[in-house]
Amino acid sequence: MEEEVDEVVAAGLSNVKPRAVVEPLALSSSGEKPSNPGRILYLNRHFQQAAKEIADALLQSRSPLIITSYLGKNQDAVSALVSLSETLAIPVIISCPSVVNMPHNHPHLTEVSFGFGESRFVRTADTILIIDCDVPFIPVHNKPKASARIFHVDVDVLKNSIGAFDLAAEMFCRADACLALSQIRDCIPSELPEAIQQVIADRKEQLLAHHLGRLSRLDTAELHVESKHIMVPHLIGCLRRAIPVPESTLFLIEAISNYPLVWEHLRPEFPGSAIASGSSALGWGLGASIGASLAGGPGTDRNLDLIVLVVGDGSFLFGVPSTAFWMARRYNTVRPFLADDLNC
């Protein structure tokens, strides 16, 4: 019973708003630290000490890695992630994205993952920073080395709604992603030893080579067209190139089975320019398109020129298109939206 009480207390305390002071959190009702040996939970207001430890680990790492899923909900966090990644040449994996977390044309973005296939970066990393992410990897497909140091920073680091959630991290931090990344970056000295500078320079070259190879593979896939079928990479590549003003276009993605292909080939570059539902419910897309059209019209901050829904055929039907398009006409949505139905 005491363990359940400790968990409830931790969940309540983890809602503390961002502040920057240092001190480990005592979770136990008896005043003791967490029962898991070697694991410390920090709150936002205690994060500075954790930031220093994470920064030191990344500095000393030969193969660091950052994994995120929804950090881009706060668009300011995207630039903070790019800054940290560029400072130390850290590769970034986007796992099961629901928003744009990093520009897809950035050479440090190594892959968009939905848990399947082999990931060399996950398997070889010696230090992993997981930030705002529910499923960073699936161990049966990709498992970090036993010696890898794992740090987990999240707005909901306890994941009480996920029954078997356990990342085997040495440190869990309940913190705002933008604040956390900025503090980690601030802990990195402006002048680094030559040996570390050389490691960073070598890693940057390797990441650029990987990036160019990845773009080449994506371009080749988009050129492939079977005689009887339009392939998803080709269709999404054509759609991406046809968008006249990408920075004032919003993509809503409910492609389900084709999520990996759509995110890879859409290649969104601007924070806030692509959104997926982030939940298990189907039929979200059509209603979301109408809502985005009403919220992003003239006089709003977004002032969108175009809203594009990329949707699977089943999700399109679950969205009750007759009702959805009636609502669009009834409320006179002032921004046009295009529904791209992937019937495959």
Check pLDDT > 60 for residue 4.
no
Q: What is the pLDDT of residue 341?
A: 64
For the residues 82-111, what does the mean pLDDT come to? 97
Coil, strand or helix: which one is 226? coil
Q: Which residue has the higher pLDDT, 160 or 235?
A: 235
**Which positions ≥6 away from 105 have C-beta within 8 Å?**
267, 269
pLDDT digits (tens, 9 = 90+) for 183-224: 999 999 999 999 999 999 999 999 999 999 999 999 999 997
Q: What is the pLDDT of residue 26?
A: 37
Half-sphere exposure of 34 (CA within 13 A, CB side): 19
Q: At what angle do helices 259-266 and 194-223 cross, to 10 degrees?
A: 110
Q: Are 232 and 262 in contact (CB under 8 A)?
A: yes
Highest mean pLDDT among 29-38, 280-289, 298-307, 325-334: 280-289
For the residues 211-239, what does the mean pLDDT come to? 89
Check pLDDT > 50 for residue 19.
no
Q: CA–CA distance from 19 to each of 3, 45, 174, 176, 321 (Å)?
A: 27, 4, 11, 9, 46
User: Cα angle at 312 between 310 and 317, to 5 degrees?
Assistant: 110
Coil, strand or helix: which one is 48? helix
Q: Which residue has the higher pLDDT, 19 or 283?
A: 283
Q: Which amino acid is at 16?
A: V
Check pLDDT > 80 for residue 36.
no
Q: What is the pLDDT of residue 269?
A: 95
Q: What is the pLDDT of residue 34?
A: 42
Q: Are 119 and 93 in contact (CB under 8 A)?
A: yes
Q: Are 264 and 273 in contact (CB under 8 A)?
A: no
Taking residue 116's Cβ as centre, other Cβ atoms within 10 Å add up to 11
Check pLDDT > 80 for residue 13.
no
pLDDT digits (tens, 9 = 90+) for 40-79: 666 665 677 889 999 999 999 999 999 999 999 999 999 9
Nearest to 173 by CA among 58, 25, 319: 25
- The DSSP result for 311-326, as a single string, is EEHHHHHHT-HHHHHH
**Phi and psi torsions of 153, nearest 5°:** -120, 130
Taking residue 306's Cβ as centre, other Cβ atoms within 10 Å add up to 18
**What is the rounded CA–CA span in Å between residue 44 and residue 179?**
9
* Beta strands at 40-42 and 109-113: parallel, antiparallel or unpaired: unpaired
**What is the rounded CA–CA span in Å between residue 64 and residue 213?**
20
Q: What is the pLDDT of residue 32?
A: 39
pLDDT digits (tens, 9 = 90+) for 240-288: 999 988 888 999 999 988 999 999 999 999 999 999 987 777 999 999 9
- The DSSP result for 12-24, as a single string, is HHTTPPP---B--
pLDDT digits (tens, 9 = 90+) for 116-174: 888 999 999 999 999 999 999 998 899 999 999 999 998 887 776 776 667 888 888 88
- The DSSP result for 172-225, as a single string, is EEE--HHHHHHHHHHTS-SS--HHHHHHHHHHHHHHHHHHHHHHHHHHHHHH--
Q: Is 230 left (phi over 0), alpha (psi -120 to 50) or beta?
A: beta
Q: What is the pLDDT of residue 156?
A: 80
**What is the rounded CA–CA span in Å between residue 92 and residue 78?**
12
**Tokens 């363990």, residue?**
3
Half-sphere exposure of 239 (CA within 13 A, CB side): 27
- Distance between terminal CA atoms of the chain? 50
What would the two tokens of residue 255 be? 């492609």
